């Protein structure tokens, strides 16, 4: 299932005194099974963009096509689209409210009308995919760690069995260990299930190791697109729009003039240089 945005523009409170342009002529195509990143400074339009992918927001102009459904069509089946494109909001743990983690993950499948047996299967599968144990499932969402809460919220969306998983800053507010855990978990999920993943982030470090392809947003527009390596090579432009390149990217560029974007690539590169010396 391909997601395509064509010349998408969006303005909050259009025509009102608080009118605010948030997206300006955005076009992108995300293919089935890709792991794509969307990065940009706060306020660049990332959250507004991804809320168009499941029809939560309707474009002011342009259109979004998910699979063979044009979401702006009058009779678009948005209910189906919302189960196919699962959106994990920023700070999703604020939406955990049931007595147990298990019941929280079950929330969407119960609402979709599945039988108790099917609900249970979906919950178990989703929990396994995000690495939450049985023991955690029976705890209250208020008793578990920040990283576990985040994973429970992701499991709640996976329990709908979506074809596309969109995560809006899934590592925001977590410590480095929690961040690593979430990103490693997403990579594993992508590898094991082949699900399309769209990962939104306001930082660059998190995502270089993770995504296959990257869009960079600034002031409601897409300003760059490419592999992490292609994008990070342009770190001077990135810094102009408020994105800080990983220090190691800059270091290797200054020392050797080479483009790398992760610590492990830097290590390999340096070992290669030393080996040749």
Binding footprint of ligand ADP on the chain (CB under 6 A): 12, 20, 22, 40, 42-48
- The dihedral through the CA atoms of 151, 154, 159, 163 has a sign that is negative
Q: Which of 47, 148, 171, 201 binds Mg ion (CB under 5 A)?
A: 47
Query: At its nearest, how many Å lie between ligand ADP and the CB of residue 42?
Result: 4
For residue 43, the minimal CB distance to Mg ion (Å) is 8
CA distance linking residue 178 with residue 119, whole number of Å: 28
Look at strands 164-168 and 85-88 and give their pairing.
parallel
Q: Which does 43 bind (CB under 5 to 8 A by kind): Mg ion, ligand ADP, none?
A: ligand ADP
Q: Which residue lies nearer to Mg ion by CB, 22 or 123?
A: 22
Q: Nearest distance from residue 27's CB to ligand ADP, in Å? A: 17
Residue by residue, DSSP assigns 88-102 as E-SSGGGG--SSSHH
- 201 sits near Mg ion (criterion: CB under 5 A): no
Nearer to ligand ADP, 116 or 242 (CB): 242
Binding-residue total with Mg ion (CB under 5 A)? 1
Tokens standing for residue 212: 């296959």
CB 67 within 8 A of CB 54: no
Least distance (Å) between residue 142 CB and ligand ADP: 27
Outline where the chain has alpha helix (H). Answer: 46-50, 78-84, 101-111, 116-130, 134-137, 146-158, 176-193, 205-208, 228-232, 235-240, 247-256, 263-276
The structure tokens 């604020």 sit at 94
What residues does 221 pair with on adjacent strands? 218
Place of tokens 């660059």: 204
Write the Ramachandran bin of 194: left for phi over 0, alpha for psi from -120 to 50, otherwise beta: left
20, interface contact from ligand ADP, Mg ion, none, CB < 5-8 Å by kind? ligand ADP
Residue 28 or 105: the one with the smaller Cβ distance to ligand ADP is 28
Nearest approach in angstroms of CB 131 to ligand ADP is: 27
157 binds, among Mg ion, ligand ADP, none (CB under 5 to 8 A by kind): none
Q: Which is nearer to Mg ion, 149 or 202 (CB)?
A: 202
Kindly indicate which of the ranges 44-52, 70-78, 110-118, 224-232 contains the residues binding Mg ion, using the contact rule CB under 5 A. Answer: 44-52
Closest residue to Mg ion in the complex (CB) = 47
CA-angle at 178, arms to 222 and 91, nearest 5°: 55
Q: Which is nearer to Mg ion, 33 or 203 (CB)?
A: 203
| Distance in Å, CB of 78 to ligand ADP, minimum | 19
Based on CB atoms, which residue is closest to ligand ADP, 26 or 155?
26
Give me the least distance between CB of 60 and ligand ADP, in Å please.
12
Nearer to ligand ADP, 43 or 226 (CB): 43
Which residue has 């991804």 as its token pair?
50
Of the candidates 109, 128, 121, which has an alpha carbon nearest to the alpha carbon of residue 185?
128
Interface with Mg ion (CB under 5 A): 47
């Amino acid at each position: 299932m391909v997601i395509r945005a064509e010349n998408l523009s969006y303005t909050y409170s259009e025509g009102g005194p608080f009118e605010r342009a948030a997206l300006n002529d955005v076009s992108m195509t995300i293919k089935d099974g890709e792991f794509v990143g969307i990065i940009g400074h706060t306020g660049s339009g990332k959250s507004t963009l991804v809320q168009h992918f499941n029809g939560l927001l309707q474009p002011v102009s342009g259109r979004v096509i998910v699979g063979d459904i044009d979401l702006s069509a009058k009779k678009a089946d948005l209910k189906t689209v919302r189960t196919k494109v699962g959106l994990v909001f920023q700070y999703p743990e604020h939406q955990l409210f049931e007595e147990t983690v298990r019941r929280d993950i079950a929330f969407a499948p119960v609402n979709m009308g599945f039988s108790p047996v099917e609900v249970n299967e979906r919950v178990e599968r989703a929990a396994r995919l995000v690495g939450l144990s049985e023991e955690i499932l029976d705890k209250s969402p208020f008793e578990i760690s920040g990283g576990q809460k985040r994973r429970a919220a992701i499991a709640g969306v996976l329990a709908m069995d979506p074809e596309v998983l969109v995560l809006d800053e899934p590592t925001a507010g977590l410590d480095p260990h929690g961040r690593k855990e979430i990103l490693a978990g997403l990579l594993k999920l992508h590898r094991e299930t082949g699900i399309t993943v769209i990962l939104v982030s306001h930082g660059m470090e998190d995502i270089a190791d993770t995504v296959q392809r990257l869009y960079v947003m600034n002031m409601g527009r897409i300003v760059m697109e490419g592999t992490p390596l292609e994008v990070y090579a342009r770190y001077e432009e990135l810094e102009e729009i408020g994105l800080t390149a990983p220090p190691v990217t800059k270091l290797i560029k200054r020392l050797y003039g080479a483009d790398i974007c992760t610590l492990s690539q830097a290590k390999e590169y340096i070992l290669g240089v030393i080996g040749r010396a």
